[in-house]
Structure 1
């Protein structure tokens, strides 16, 4: 197959390109050439999807059997891309997000759950990330004149991760010492490897599939305690995990999800964060590798080349992953003083 990937130089997009090429497909990538390096062996068209002339130049480089859009964030912009590529490909796959569902992360969601009511021509000022992702989905669904496939990943980890969640934990635990471990070590999680999403995406495209799939991963495929133990095993660290209660951290205004990446205390607004239902995708072949494999492979990638110490901008959230070292030390001292023997 001839496949066009819009994006394709970082994280999930790069993983999809590598998987497609490993299967023998011819791949063209379209991106600005600013965020990451292009995958060797792929044909490359550099340009800006917000520039009409660049889109026309891209369309002229076709046709393709399939388009995979990995970096659409604004409905109006995605709609322009779709219209430019109509007639130049048989199918259009849009990589969206579980955040497109208005009930997530407060409640369990599946493909029948309501999406945010965002128009397919909305602009970036018309909502936040999840709201706009829902609008992007509608832009593809309403504008593309061919087969439409929408994939909605949950929390993605794995090599090439540019958000910095798992890389932060790996680096912190590798540094050793006492590590603030948040909440309940037995709390179930639901994580998914970018490589497994890439495999399922290509499988569905090759099968000529249409429709929407939520790909949040297997329910309870690890726990917070097991995941951090996997980080310690992968790095060979002798770090001591000090488990600190949710309430203690919340009372001290520690930010869930960012200061302690993937810490999701059981508050009402996060009650469904690890409960998404990927059964439809599983019935059609979606499979997830063990989380420990994801952790080990991400550490190997970090050691080999990996993420820089200072993250580049990622959707306006650069450098926000991970707690300040002095704050962590202060919280641990307070926690241990509270629980010291009289």
Structure 2
């Protein structure tokens, strides 16, 4: 019997890759619910259009069916969770909340596992993103309350830095843009900052491992590769991929901050997360970093070629 899965979001980045990977699987009945700004128009996907912040649209747009799983890619606040689960008709077997590793407090103990302390308030030093991590904490709390009230199994996923196809955030593209423009890539000195990622396709596969899997009910998992990298390692990997020397500019972290250079990752602190809990559960092997980066670069160059062709046709 086919598993009936409802995806909240699904048009952008990790949600879109999740949908694409679903279409490669047998016995999946896939539905998506979002505002319809970027229709998928894919065979095998039933699309429902509505705004999750409008209770009546959740009730009216999503059919009353027996959902084996609801995978929520765009719950950023507790109200998002409450409005969805409180107005979703039919029955839900499992709710998978895509949270973030940003929910953890700053710590010098690395890697950070699922037992680490969570934020207890906003982070003003992050400017416009001050409330992001704390709101995600509150969303997790709301999910636990609502799922307990409604008798729904909950699985919380906390991805580290996600990279790969359809990424709209200026992460790996910072390096690709400079590589393409033959401009030097800034490397912070003394180069102590380390971090780890999750390849977007690996993330999709891990989510599918969790769906309708009782061992994940009531659990929280970090999603993070064991490959710990730095700015220097990214540049080294790009050299391996392109077979060319990559021009770099090494600057102290203070100078980077003074110049207000928009580097995409930390320049003076570690952000390393422990993803072994879920890896051990499923015997999951991550895509090596240089392979994921190579595929990301290929996708980036394909997009740039299409943009150039489109511009030339105007």
TM range (shorter): 0.7 to 0.9
Provide, for residues 138-175 of structure 1, a one-character-per-residue CA deviation record: whole Å limited to 9, x for no partner: 11111022110000011111111111210121121121
Asked whether the equivalents of residues 186 and 224 of structure 1 are also in contact (C-alpha less than 8 Å), the reply is no
What does 1:207-218 align with in structure 2 at a 5 Å threshold? 207-208=213-214, 209-210=216-217, 211-218=219-226
Asked whether the equivalents of residues 193 and 266 of structure 2 are also in contact (C-alpha less than 8 Å), the reply is no
1:121 corresponds to: none
In structure 2, what is the Cα distance between the partners aligned to 1:277 and 1:180?
27
Structure 1, unmatched stretches of 5+, are 119-124, 310-342
In structure 2, what is the Cα distance between the partners aligned to 1:99 and 1:86?
31
Tell me, what secondary structure is at the counterpart of 2:166? coil
Decide which of 275, 279, 283 is 1:282's aligned counterpart: 279
In structure 1, what is the Cα distance between the partners aligned to 2:11 and 2:294?
22
1:337 corresponds to: none
194 and 306 in structure 1: CA distance in 2 versus 1, 3 angstrom threshold: farther
Decide which of 72, 75, 81 is 1:78's aligned counterpart: 81
Question: Is it true that 1:199 corresponds to 2:202 in the alignment?
Answer: no
Asked whether the equivalents of residues 98 and 216 of structure 1 are also in contact (C-alpha less than 8 Å), the reply is no
Tell me, what secondary structure is at the counterpart of 1:225? helix
Tell me, what secondary structure is at the counterpart of 2:60? helix
Asked whether the equivalents of residues 31 and 45 of structure 1 are also in contact (C-alpha less than 8 Å), the reply is yes
Structure 2, unmatched stretches of 5+, are 122-127, 308-314
1:297 corresponds to: 295
2:9 corresponds to: 7
Deviates more, 1:199-208 or 1:173-182: 173-182
2:230 corresponds to: 223
1:338 corresponds to: none
1:68 corresponds to: 71
By how many angstroms is 1:206 displaced?
A: 3.9
Tell me, what secondary structure is at the counterpart of 2:211? helix
1:328 corresponds to: none
1:90 corresponds to: 93
Provide, for residues 44-72 of structure 1, a one-character-per-residue CA deviation record: whole Å limited to 9, x for no partner: 00110011221102442533211000001
Asked whether the equivalents of residues 79 and 139 of structure 1 are also in contact (C-alpha less than 8 Å), the reply is yes
Question: Is it true that 1:110 corresponds to 2:117 in the alignment?
Answer: no
Asked whether the equivalents of residues 64 and 90 of structure 2 are also in contact (C-alpha less than 8 Å), the reply is no
Q: TM-score, normalised by structure 2?
A: 0.83
Matched residue count: 289
By how many angstroms is 1:189 displaced?
A: 3.1
Decide which of 20, 23, 27 is 2:22's aligned counterpart: 20
Provide, for residues 25-51 of structure 1, a one-character-per-residue CA deviation record: whole Å limited to 9, x for no partner: 2211100012x3426121100110011
By how many angstroms is 1:8 displaced?
A: 0.3
In structure 2, what is the Cα distance between the partners aligned to 1:165 and 1:154?
13
Q: TM-score, normalised by structure 1?
A: 0.76
Provide, for residues 179-219 of structure 1, a one-character-per-residue CA deviation record: whole Å limited to 9, x for no partner: 33333457543121111111111101142321100113215
In structure 2, what is the Cα distance between the partners aligned to 1:140 and 1:232?
44
Asked whether the equivalents of residues 235 and 246 of structure 2 are also in contact (C-alpha less than 8 Å), the reply is no
2:52 corresponds to: 49
Asked whether the equivalents of residues 65 and 89 of structure 2 are also in contact (C-alpha less than 8 Å), the reply is no
